[in-house]
Structures are given as structure tokens and as C-alpha cells.
Structure 1
Amino acid sequence: MRTPHVVVVMGVAGTGKTTIGPLLAARLGVPYAEGDDFHPPANIAKMSAGTPLDDDDRWPWLDAIGAWADGRAGLGGVVSCSALKRSYRDRLRAAAPGVVFVHLAGDRSLIEDRMAHRRGHFMPTALLDSQFATLEPLQADEAGVVVDVSGGPEAIAGRAVTALAALPDPPA
């Protein structure tokens, strides 16, 4: 990739966005931003209590991520963001037209097991069903790739780099 992409690492909770994002950014030589850091405290409190966010909760969060991505246009960057619905990805693309998505996807039982064993994260396993119910996978007309989350983090990041390399360069 001659011109670095701004990559949004997306997927349901537990797919490894926070683990794969920094690995991918390091391999691409661009900065990483943790999408959860863009959430206002009220969103974190709501999710910590086991209550799914609604669209009104998500719009300011998506706008903040979109602004970060737009600021990295032409420079490249990687940011994690669940981006579960097409409308969320459309909002990110409206803010940062050149973004591409890496959809981390995998077997629900694997993802649930990983969530059950992680420590220090506010998202409870109980919200996984709502995440899968909300998920609208990438469509053929969306710039992005789907990457399987089986295996270790290095293998997943490697698959993501390989898949991204096959995408056309973003507009200058």
C-alpha cells in the first residue's frame, strides 16, 4: 500500500479488536487508537451495567472516531470500533471517506470463550447476544475485508495485512 489506509477494525465484542488493532498498526507503521477511549463515561457506565447502547448513545462516539480517522487521511491509522451496523459504517465513511474496514469474524462459541476469560473489560458476556443481533456484516459495496479470528493474534494480524494489501490504494 503506497498511501496508508485508515483502517477501522470492527466486529462484535470479544473478537480481538483491542488486541489485533495495535498489532495491525505496528505492521502497517501507523498509529493506533482504541475505540473504547472515544466513549463518553455515560456509555461505559451503561455497558458496565449490562445495558446495550442505543443509536443515540452511539452517534457522538462514532462522530469522535470519524473525526480521528479524518485527521489521519493520507497518513494512515488504525482504530478499533465495533461498527456493527451499516448505518454506523456509513457515518464513519461520511466523516472520513477513505476508511476501510477489517471485520474480525468468527465462531460465536470461540468469541464467548475469549470474552469469558478476559480481565478488566467493561463489556459483559451477557451483551454478546445483542451484539450478534445488531451485526450487519460488510456488504460487497463496502471497502473492507473479513478476517477469521481463529488462531493466535499474530496469525490474525498477518491475515489482515495480507487482505488489506489486496485493496486498492485510497484516493490521494
Structure 2
Amino acid sequence: MKQALVVIDMQEIFFNYPQKYLLHNIEQVVENINELITQAHDKQIPVIFIQHTSQDKQHLMSEGNEDWKLHKNLLVSPTDKVIQKSIFDSFYQTELLDYLKSNEIEQLIFAGAQTEFCLDTTIRAALSLGYQHNLLYKGTHSTINGAVLQASDIINHHEAMWHNRFLTVIDGEIKL
């Protein structure tokens, strides 16, 4: 089954404002995502970075702003695909689905931020679009503390909800 790694919204905004946008367990998450990226590159699995891009030029996440850029510590290769999106769903009005189809991708491996927003929406959309056998490794996604739930509770809740419904959550060694 031909795979692709999809890394969602791992952008500088989450690293530039730790008082407001601090992602839970972020150093370990970046390390784990880089492990996925390294293995994907080694196995010639396409790596796709999804980059949230606000249409409001004054927004921190508008194209070209420092906060909009992919995180500097990610192991991005010039051969990786970068796709911009403007809402939670990485498929909505983007080239993602066409890219996956043209490369005959059958299975997606998800990672990134934020768990309950862009990651969740994209995981659900992928299933609806026919991607039935997707994967997510524990420790490769994160979010910030919410008004009602702490980040760790949001992560645990979503992993329990996703597992064996929307994708397979793998708890263990990261091995593609």
C-alpha cells in the first residue's frame, strides 16, 4: 500500500508565543515528527507539509510572516510537497486530493497540530474521501490547553475516538 506522510500546521506561531500557543510536550513531538520524516525520506515515502495560511494579510498566519513559516527545526527537504490551506480541512480548496491521487497514495500517516482542529478535521475528511487505512503514531501530534480541557486530555480523547474508527493509532516505536 503506497503511503504518504502528512504533517499539518507545524508552524513557527506555536514556538514564538509560548505563553499563548504552547503546544503540549512540543520538544518530544518535534523529535517524533522528525523521526517520521527521516524514515519517510529513507523509504521514499512522500512527505507533505500542510501550512495554514490566513487570507487576512494582518493575521500572524498570513503568507510570508515569520509565524506562518514551517518550524525551523523540522527536517524539510526540497523534494517535500508544501500545500497551503485556509481553513481546518487540509483537503478543502487545496491540491491535496489531486496530489494524492496523481501519486497513487492509498494510506496516509498523520502528524501535526492542533489535535482537535486541523488534524481532526483532516483525518475525518480523509476517511470520507476514501482513505480507509490511515495511521497516527502517539506522540506525533499536539495542541494547546483549552478553556475546558488540558492539552493532554484533548489528545487522549481524540486518540481514543479516532482509533479503529477514523484511523489506527499506534502506541509504540515509530517504524514506517
> Smaller-chain TM-score range?
0.3 to 0.5
TM-score by length of 1: 0.34
TM-score by length of 2: 0.33
Greater strand share, structure number: 2
Greater helix share, structure number: 1
